[in-house]
């Protein structure tokens, strides 16, 4: 009887819902749910990648020239920043698994900072586009292309802004989630017994990283040798 109440108390501390038998089962269910959400996100971004691929196929020359106007070194540096943030995120998850409560906060804050650096660099790049009149709209003008190709160049930059913008929106949401994690982790909520939120938001953060892993070569790199 005594051990039963003890077990009950233990389960309460893990916030075990009544529909689950064990904490492990509950964690597996949460992970599965997160992956299903991520798959809806894959399909969401997949549509954009598809649109980009189709138009790149149709107007390959214009897309090559327009793509080559992006600064590849800034793009590569930003990729490195995002990969660093993925490393710190996974180390935060590891710290949670090991109940290293101070390390969780440290790595989460580092992840947040690196995410902020990425967004800052992205804002700088977007600003450059405004200065160069490479933003689709009335004032759009791309110097290296004849008037007949301006529309297709606008198409490239529309897709560029839609895809990087959507990615940046996901980063902003991720940063909000990280703030929540830092807030909770400072109260010592996450430990080896309970770290599901850290784990799941980690999955989200790595997913956003994977999207950028594909955006970077597709937008900045392919046809770089043609555009020069």
Partner 1 sequence: MSNDVHQHIDSAMTYVLVFVVLICLTIATTAVAFVDLGPFSVVAALVIACCKMLLVALFFMHVRHSTRLTRLVVLGGLLWLGILLLLTLGDVMSRGWVGVPGR
Residues that bind partner 1 (CB under 8 A): 7, 10-11, 14, 16, 22-24, 27-28, 31-32, 35-36, 38-39, 42-43, 46-47, 49-50, 53-54, 57-58, 72, 76, 79-80, 83-84, 86-87, 89-91, 94, 97-98, 192-193, 199, 202-203, 206-207, 209-210, 213-214, 216-218, 220-226
> Pick from 192, 185, 196: which is nearest to 102 by CA?
185
Closer to partner 1 at the Cβ: 54 or 141? 54
Instruction: Name which of 137, 180, 195, 145 is nearest 161 in CA terms.
Output: 137
Alpha-carbon span 157 to 153, nearest angstrom: 6
In terms of CB distance, is 9 or 138 closer to partner 1? 9
The answer to whether 225 and 67 are in contact (CB under 8 A) is: no
Among the listed residues 182, 204, 189, 209, the one whose alpha carbon sits nearest the alpha carbon of residue 30? 204
For residue 26, the minimal CB distance to partner 1 (Å) is: 9
Q: How many CB atoms lie within 10 A of CB 21?
A: 9
Q: Return the number of the residue (38 or 175) whose C-beta is nearest partner 1.
A: 38
In the complex, least distance from residue 225 CB atom to partner 1, rounded to whole angstroms? 4
């Amino acid at each position: 009887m005594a051990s039963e109440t003890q077990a009950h108390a233990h389960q309460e501390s893990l916030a075990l819902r009544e529909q689950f038998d064990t904490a492990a089962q509950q964690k597996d269910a949460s992970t599965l749910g997160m992956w299903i959400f991520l798959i809806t996100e894959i399909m969401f971004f997949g549509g954009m990648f598809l649109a980009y691929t189709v138009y790149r196929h149709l107007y390959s020359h214009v897309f090559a020239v327009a793509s080559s106007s992006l600064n590849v070194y800034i793009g590569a540096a930003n990729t490195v920043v995002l990969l660093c943030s993925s490393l710190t995120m996974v180390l935060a998850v590891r710290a949670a698994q090991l109940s290293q409560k101070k390390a969780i906060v440290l790595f989460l804050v580092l992840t947040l900072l690196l995410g902020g650096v990425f967004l800052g660099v992205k804002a700088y790049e977007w600003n450059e586009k405004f200065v160069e009149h490479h933003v689709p709209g009335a004032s759009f003008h791309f110097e290296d292309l004849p008037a007949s190709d301006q529309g297709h160049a606008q198409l490239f930059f529309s897709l560029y802004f839609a895809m990087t913008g959507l990615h940046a929106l996901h980063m902003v949401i991720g940063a909000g989630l990280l703030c929540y994690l830092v807030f909770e982790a400072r109260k010592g909520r996450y430990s080896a017994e309970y770290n599901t939120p850290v784990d799941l938001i980690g999955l989200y953060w790595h997913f956003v990283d994977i999207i950028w892993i594909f955006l970077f070569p597709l937008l900045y790199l392919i046809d770089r040798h043609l555009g020069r």
